[in-house]
Amino acid sequence: MKEYLINGETKHSIKVTIRQFLYLPVLMTVIMLIVLPGTNIIMKSSSFRLMYSLGESIERDKLIGFSLYDTNQIVKFIPYVLMGISLVSAFLLFRFLFSKKAQAVYFLTGTSRGQLFLIRYMFGVISLAASVFLSLAVSVVINVFVSDATKFLISNGIYLFFAMFSMAYCCYSVCVVIMVLCGRGIDYFMSVAGVWSARILVLLFMQNVFFAFLPGTPYYFGQGNLQAGIYPSIFEKYSDVSFTKFFREIFETCGTAYGHKEGPDFDYAVAQFVTKPQMIILVFLVGAVFAFVGWLLFKKRKAELAETPSANNVLSNAVTLLISASIASCIFLAGGTFWHIVLFALILTAVYCVVISVFRGVVSKLYKSLPIPFFAVFVCGIFCLVCYFGGLGYSSYIPQIDDISCVQISYPGHPQYASVGSGYSAWSGSSYYFHYASLDNMTKLTEKEDVETVIDIHRLLIADGSRGISDESTTDYDETAVYANIYITYTLKDGSQITRFYRTLKLSTIFRMLDLEFTDAYIDLFKSKIKYFGADENDWTKEEYLETLLSMSAVYASDNLFSNLTGLSLTDTEKEELFDAIINDKSDDTVDERYRPQKECIGVLLITYNGKSDDAGDPKKKFDYFGQYYGTSHVYVYEDDKETITYLKNKGYYDAFVKDLTVTKIELYEFPLYPEEEQLQKSAYNRCFYSKVNTDLTERFTPFVRELAQTEYNEILQNARLTYFINGGQLVTITTVNSDGEERTVTKYLPINN
């Protein structure tokens, strides 16, 4: 302890440090003043604006609130600003370690290394604390003048000070340790970047490997494209452990509060004061541990490391391998074949060579380092192999049926069938003929029989392997593998959840999955959706929703070639009766009746949500109008839909199903239909065809078109379907002229067995 007593040399060293780095706390304070109160004033924080607008609606003396900084935009950057000033502070204060000349002076004059470290380190800590404290203090003072929340301001201000300071302190301590380990500035900055982003790099690598090699893993990087899932990515899954996110949430929550003096919003914000102190203390303690490690390393640091490239081989190699492996693993997004692994090895080695060259400052003698990336490739290869062979049972795991409380599964059918507002033509523009279902419709199945059905499907998905899609030239339709994105989530009786995701599957499996639609749970859902779909998401009661639906919807009827559109004048009660009839008929459908109808439908009911408010009811309006606005449901009526047909007959609308036309031309388009849209063609999403009116196929499919002779018309008209779960058939366009002389072209589907 004797050496740490304040003697003359120590005092002098402190003076020298203060004189040399006085600009540092000043600079940091200026930055924090700009970031916290500065932007709050300059941007006229929306929190302030809300506060004031609230003040206009309630009595001023009942208003209470504050806004220490902008909690909408700037708050997102506060963690990064704190990390930035910590990074720079550590660099400036310990920069002498990177100069042989400078360190000879500081290491050989006056104080011990331990004292020198403490003086410099503490100067940085005090500077960070001062800058955070002063900027928050200014924010508090500004708020005191405009709000009546002084007591809460001070308590939240103190809490925020500790939160911001702990974060900056921890970052700073980590940076100091890295400074002591490195020999050059560039090594330091690259190492800090590597260490700070290590979590992301590891997750990226794992995610990409899982994507290519581990069937069933539910975490994916990309979202919004056909190959990626809608389930949270592995980043999002583990984002709770994110250091920056944790602090950002505190800053967002505690930076502002407004409302009535005893209102819930305000109480909530103020209550955050005591919610996470343990974590903040933990972060501070982690910072202290790093400081201790830094102190030990500093005392033992070899002076000859200064100016030495890649002074710490372990650190530089670890960072380099992390960067190169995560970058190279992106190749697995394109596939997981042997050649992808070869490419991965090449990219990893190349990126390793580039990054390690930057660390070492020379390009020569790289061959001496090659065993390291080779070893990394070997380890990664084993990891890939483990994943490929099921991730130690991960891929093939299915919970015991007795342990399952309920199960949810996404599938490519459409239980929202016929539901107004989300009809299956809603999404599609005029260019698409196939249903693009949202697969996030995951109804809970609890009945043992239903759970068994899902388990059977799960076994098929495991057998399918999720290894990629089939070649375009495949002819075995059932064995063809396509993109799907199927999720299965088991909720176990102990409350835990197990989720599996399958990116590709065989068409035979898709058709098997349609069985799900005929479980009790989905039939109930189907019934509910026709009349109440959207009630929950609009925060309406079912009664409110149905009332609105009945009052605003309009129903039209047409023959199966859309030659004649007739508006049905139905009262609200009659509409509900019609909906009930449809429900009763359609809920008893079999898979084949709904998705592979054997007989031609006799007519179509079109239910539109906006029929009364615009001119959609105009018979002259083209039918495809309905497909492009607000989602019009097409209900295809077949002979066995007894209740619907009886109801229409009783009301005198059945005649609308009678054709009044002459067929003038039929053209046949060979399948495959989307040569330039491979993704759609190879996706399970476009398995469900529905008919469209007056759309031009020739532009896209001219090379495949063949005009049929009149002698073939009858056969085509009998076999063409308005909807079908496609199995590699053909499209036909049927051109008709009705009694009013209106020409119309309808696109239908011709199943392959015809």
Partner 1 sequence: MIELRHVSKQFGRYSALEDVTACIRDESIYGLIGYNGAGKTTLLNMISGLYLPNYGEIFIEVNGEMCKPFDNVKVKRNLFYVSDDPYYLPYATLNTTRDFYKGFYRNFSESTFEKLVKLFKLDPEKRIGDFSKGMKRQAAIISGLSSRVKYLLLDESFDGLDPNMRVLVSNLLTEYLLEVGGTIIVASHNLYELENICDTIGMINGKRMAFSKEIEEIRGEYKKYRVALDKKIPKEVFTSLDEKNLREEGNIYTFVSCESEKNIKEKLYTHCSIILFEAYPLALNEIFKAEMGEGEDEYEGIFD
- The site for partner 1 (CB under 8 A) is made up of 3, 8-9, 11-13, 15-16, 20, 99-105, 107-113, 299, 302-304
Q: Tokens in use for 519? A: 């479980």
Q: Choose between 301 and 748: whose C-beta lies nearer to partner 1.
A: 301
Nearer to partner 1 by Cβ, of 100 and 260: the residue is 100
Spatial contact of 556 and 567, defined as CB atoms under 8 Å apart: yes
Separation between Cα atoms, residue 373 and residue 438, nearest integer Å: 43
351: which 2 tokens? 């990126």
In angstroms, the CA 609 to CA 620 distance is: 19
DSSP secondary-structure letter at 295? Answer: H
- H helices of 444-539, in order, are 448-464, 507-513, 520-532
Q: Is 12 or 706 the residue whose CB approaches partner 1 more closely?
A: 12
Tell me whether residue 106 or residue 172 sits nearer to partner 1 (CB atom).
106
Amino acid letter, residue 234: I
Nearer to partner 1, 16 or 523 (CB): 16
CB closer to partner 1, 113 vs 237: 113
Which CB, 16 or 202, lies closer to partner 1?
A: 16
Q: How far apart are CA 75 and CA 40, in angstroms?
A: 10
The whole-angstrom separation of Cα 426 and Cα 630 is: 6
Do 220 and 207 meet the contact criterion of CB atoms below 8 Å apart?
Answer: yes
For residue 724, list its beta bridge partners: 689
Among residues 108 and 274, whose Cβ is nearest to partner 1?
108
Cα separation of 91 and 630, whole Å? Answer: 59
Shortest reach from residue 179's CB to partner 1, in Å: 18
Here the tokens at position 452 are 């068994």
Using CA atoms, how far apart are residues 53 and 32, in angstroms rounded to an integer?
A: 28
Provide, rounded to whole angstroms, the least separation between the CB of residue 289 and partner 1.
23
Least distance between partner 1 and beta carbon 192 (Å): 23
What is the secondary structure of 234-258 as a DSSP string? HHHHTGGG-HHHHHHHHHHHHSEEE
Query: Smallest distance, Å, CB 360 to partner 1?
Result: 13
Please report how close the Cβ of residue 129 comes to partner 1 at its closest, in angstroms. 25
Q: What single letter denotes the amino acid at residue 581?
A: A
Nearer to partner 1 by Cβ, of 144 and 293: the residue is: 293
Q: How far is CA 134 from the centre of its chain?
A: 39
Shortest gap between Cβ of 358 and partner 1 (angstroms)?
20
As to burial, measured by CB atoms within 10 angstroms (0-12 exposed, 13-18 middle, 19+ buried), residue 433 is buried
**Cβ of residue 20: shortest distance to partner 1, in angstroms?**
7
Q: In angstroms, give the least distance from the CB of 101 to partner 1.
A: 4
Q: Which two tokens stand for residue 457?
A: 């499907």
Q: Give percent helix, percent strand, percent coil of the chain, each to the nearest 5.
A: 55, 15, 30
Looking at beta carbons only, is 110 or 468 nearer to partner 1?
110
Minimum Å distance from CB 502 to partner 1?
A: 52
Q: How far apart are CA 429 and CA 685, in angstroms?
A: 15
Task: Name which of 304 and 707 has its Cβ closer to partner 1.
Answer: 304
Task: Give 707's strand partners.
Answer: 667
Q: How far is the CB of 310 from partner 1 (least distance, A)?
A: 11
Least distance between partner 1 and beta carbon 116 (Å) = 10
Give Cα 734 distance to the centre of its chain: 42
Measured from the CB atom, the residue of 8 and 741 that comes closer to partner 1 is 8
Least distance (Å) between residue 390 CB and partner 1: 45
Between residues 42 and 303, which has the closer beta carbon with respect to partner 1?
303
Calpha distance 275→256 (Å, rounded): 16
The length of the chain in residues reads 754
CB 239 within 8 A of CB 219: no
Query: Shortest distance, CB of residue 102 to partner 1, whole angstroms?
Result: 5
Q: What angle do CA 191, 284, 182 make, to 5 degrees?
A: 20
> How far lies 100's CA from each of 108, 134, 300, 304, 352, in Å?
12, 37, 16, 7, 28
Tokens of 534: 């959207």
CB of 92 vs partner 1, minimal distance in Å: 11
Nearer to partner 1 (CB atom), residue 40 or residue 111: 111
Helix (H) or strand (E) holding 325: helix 313-328
Decide whether 2 or 60 has the Cβ nearer to partner 1: 2
Beta pairing partners, 506: 481
565-568 and 554-558 beta bridge pairing: antiparallel
Q: What is the DSSP letter of 466?
A: T
CB of 313 to partner 1, least distance (A): 10
Query: Minimum Å distance from CB 301 to partner 1?
Result: 10
Instruction: Report the residue number, 43 or 296, with the smaller CB distance to partner 1.
Output: 296
Contact yes or no for 112/42 (Cβ under 8 A): no
Toward partner 1, which CB reaches closer, 13 or 683? 13
Instruction: Report whether the peptide linkage leading into residue 672 is cis, meaning its omega lies within 30 degrees of zero.
Output: yes
Question: With contact defined as beta carbons under 8 Å apart, do 732 and 665 qualify?
Answer: no
Residues 667, 671, 674: CA angle, nearest 5 degrees: 100
Least distance in Å: CB of 108 to partner 1?
A: 6
Report how far residue 409's alpha carbon sits from residue 441's, in angstroms, rounded to the nearest whole number.
8
